[in-house]
Amino acid sequence: MPATVDPSGRLAKVFVITGPSGVGKGTLIRALREQVPEIELSVSATTRAPRGGEEDAVDYHFLDGDDFVMYLGDNLLTSGIVDFVEQFRTGSSAAQAMPAAAARPNARR
């Protein structure tokens, strides 16, 4: 994968914020984006149902299992995990451009 360069020609910095559910990753990310609005966020795809207040294509791309497998097969999803209940993947640049309308409400398996 080619290196990402910012507008000044410097290599872009990548920050990974990770942790178990409920530890405040979203709170931290919102605070960072308020302080540094030029930070871009990679929106992951998941087959789980949205939780209260989550928005499609903002918090996650909420996909049903069939769409998830289709995007995975089309190499639109990369670098992720599949756990025992839900599937999570980080989107490639093509998936990042996926319009919100393309992500259908979740249908649990």
Query: Which residue intervals of the chain bear CATH 3.30.63.10?
Result: 42-102
Residue with token string 């410097």:
10
pLDDT digits (tens, 9 = 90+) for 48-78: 899 888 899 988 889 888 888 788 777 777 6
Which pairs count as long-range contacts for 16-20, CB under 8 Å and 24+ apart, including other chains?
Answer: none
Is residue 80 a contact partner of residue 69, using CB atoms and an 8 Å limit? Answer: no
Residues in Cβ contact with 25 at an 8 Å cutoff, skipping those fewer than 6 apart: 17, 18, 19
Please state the pTM of the whole predicted model.
0.56
Give, in words, the CATH class of 42-102. Answer: alpha beta
Say what the pLDDT of residue 105 is. 44
